[in-house]
Amino acid sequence: MKGIFSVLVENKDGVLSAVSGLFARRGFNIDTLAVGETDNREISSMTITSTGDQRTIDQIEKQLNKNVDVIKVRRLSDTKSVCLEMMLIKVAYNLSNRTPLIEFCQLMGAKVMKVAPKYLLIEYHAEPENVEDFIKVMKGYGIIEIQRTGTIAMEK
């Protein structure tokens, strides 16, 4: 199963490594991790997604809660929250497939940020599963480089 955790932490040095270390030490997997300051500069917000069985997901929540620098842990369900991921992707094109590529981007609401002689630099943000699908399509064209933010999520 998939676990989505929205975690408020102290915005201090060492906290990120403490949180990621907790996953490493217990053999939990981090699928995505996104971190940023909140409106309060002393507090950062993390969205962590992980996969595992029920016991693992429960343990992740409990072990996160044990960390002194972790202020609050919320487990989000993907049905009751908004999940988004943003991506920058460089995709190769040639004269014959450029038009369908641009049309596909328009259809999906992706933005072409730069047109270079051999590639397009595209920005796309959407629900994580749509991002996955988008990548699958882009593989057909040839992906040169990809940068993903990881999931950010918020309860509805």
Partner 1 sequence: MTGAEAMIKCLEAEDIRVVFGYPGVAIAPFYEGLYNSDIEHILVRQEQNAGHAASGYARMSRRPAVCVVTSGPGATNLITALATAYADSIPLIAISGQVSSRLLGRDVFQEADMRGATRSFVKHSYLVKDADDIPRVFKEAFYIASTGRKGPVLIDIPMDVQQAELRKSFKYPDAVSIRGYKPEIKINPIQLRRVIGLLDQAEKPLICAGGGVILGHGETVIREFCEKFNIPLVHTMMGMGVLPKRHPLNFGMLGNNGKPYANKAVGKADLLIVAGARIADRAIPKPENLTRRAVIHIDIDTAEIGKNVGPTVPLVGDLKEIFSLMLDANIERKEDSWIAELEDIKRNTVDKRVFSDRLVDPNLLVQKLSEKLPNDATYVADVGQNQLWSADNYIMKEGRFLTTGGMGTMGYSIPAAIGAKLVYPERQTVAVIGDGAFQMAMNELATMRNNNVDLRILLVRNRFLGLVREYQHYNYDSHYEGVKLSDWPDYSKIAEAYGLKYYECASNDELDEKLDWFLEGEGARLLVCDVDSDNNVK
The residue from 23, 31, 67, 148 that contacts partner 1 (CB under 8 A) is: 67
Name the nearest CA neighbour of 63 among 141, 114, 52: 52
**CA 156/CA 147 separation, integer angstroms:** 27
Candidate list 29, 38, 51, 65; residue touching partner 1; CB under 8 A: 65
Q: Which of 37, 58, 103, 145 binds partner 1 (CB under 8 A)?
A: 58
Task: Return the number of the residue (35 or 101) whose C-beta is nearest partner 1.
Answer: 35
Task: By CB under 8 A, tell whether 1 contacts partner 1.
Answer: no
Supply the minimum distance, in Å, between the C-beta of residue 3 and partner 1: 15
Q: Which one of the spans 15-23, 85-93, 110-118, 137-145 is the region binding partner 1 (CB under 8 A)?
A: 15-23
Near partner 1 in 23-42, by CB under 8 A: 25
Dihedral class, residue 135 (left if φ above 0, else alpha if ψ from -120 to 50, else beta) = alpha
Which CB sits closer to partner 1, 39 or 156?
A: 39
Binding site for partner 1 (CB under 8 A): 9-10, 13-14, 17-18, 21, 25, 55, 58-59, 62-63, 65-72
